[in-house]
Chains A and B, each alone.
Chain A
Amino acid sequence: MVYMGSDPCAKCEEMLQPFLDRELSEDEYAIAEAHLDECGYCRKRYKFEETLRRYVRQAVVEEMPPELKQKLAALRTPL
């Protein structure tokens, strides 16, 4: 059993990334979820992180220029 210790919010902060990456053990999930159920401070920050990841991904994805696709196809071995 993981003990949240004297500063449960700090412990919960440490679990944020592995929690969202689905890397925690079942025990750790249960503990994080129990804390999140009762702590609005951490819940807000978890929600924010989830939204942030989606938002960052959308912001940094840039689609490939169509001409490049043709250039790549031209690199193929001639038949």
Chain B
Amino acid sequence: MSEVQPETDARGIAEEARARVRFEEEVLELSDQVYRVARRLVSTREEAEDLVQETYARAFRSWRSYTPGTNLRAWLFRILTNLNIDRGRREQRSPATQPLEEGDYFLYNRLEADGGSEDEARVVERLSQDEIVQALAEVPHDFRDVIVLVDIGDFTYQDAAQILDIPIGTVMSRLHRGRRILKKELAEATVGDSG
């Protein structure tokens, strides 16, 4: 068509505006989940708030790069983790050595040795909330990112792989090692201090 038809044009603009409003509403509905994950990716509440705001500013700006019908959560969390990696890697002094994790029974064995045998649920209750938050913060970024996405964000391995742009095998190995590192940190925080 050689001429632009004003009505078609106006209709197109109105449709785009509606699609955009819908997109923004859907993205905003995910904000609780985004904050929960963001909060554990960074150390302070202020950083988490900044990160979430940056994520939303970028998501709203680049809404055209989202393909309707695809996984919106994964798309949004990819923005979040990319922004976090961009800023986080600047501040992070990379630890020269990764903590050496123990086996998966390690934490239980330590707690049991420390407090005698009791019900499994009671053993868990010996860990305080602060100790758990602190122990998770001690887990190196690469491992923690995966733990937070899978265990707090409820993402599948496949989604976590897509979000972090790493192979699914890497997701699994980082998740398994990361959880062991977390348990070692918890063992040190609880038994280490009191003993």
Q: Do A and B bind each other?
A: yes
Q: How far is the CA of A69 from the CA of B176 in the complex (A)?
A: 34
Interface size on B, residues (CB 8 A): 41
> Please, which residues of chain A bring their CB within 8 A of the CB of B133?
59-60
> Please, which residues of chain B bring their CB within 8 A of the CB of A53?
151
> Please, which residues of chain B bring their CB within 8 A of the CB of A71?
49, 53
Is B184 part of the binding interface, using a Cβ–Cβ cutoff of 8 Å? no
Given contacts A55-B132, A60-B40, contact A65 B49 (CB under 8 A): yes
> Please, which residues of chain B bring their CB within 8 A of the CB of A47?
120
Tell me which residues from 103 to 158 in chain B have a Cβ below 8 Å from any Cβ of chain A: 103-105, 107-108, 120-121, 123-125, 127, 129, 132-133, 136, 151-152
Is B151 touching A56 in the complex (CB atoms < 8 A)?
Answer: yes
Interface size on A, residues (CB 8 A): 35
* 0/1 string, A25-59, CB within 8 A of B gives 1: 00000000000000000001101110111011101
Interfacial residues, chain B to chain A (CB-CB below 8 A): 17, 20-21, 24, 28, 31-32, 35-36, 39-40, 45, 49, 52-53, 56-57, 60, 103-105, 107-108, 120-121, 123-125, 127, 129, 132-133, 136, 151-152, 172, 175-176, 179, 182-183
Give the residue name and chain of the B residue nearest to A47 (CB).
B120
> Please, which residues of chain A bring their CB within 8 A of the CB of B40?
60
> Please, which residues of chain A bring their CB within 8 A of the CB of B125?
55
Q: How far is the CA of A70 from the CA of B125 in the complex (A)?
A: 36
Interfacial residues, chain A to chain B (CB-CB below 8 A): 10, 13-14, 16-18, 21, 23, 44-45, 47-49, 51-53, 55-57, 59-65, 68-69, 71-73, 75-77, 79
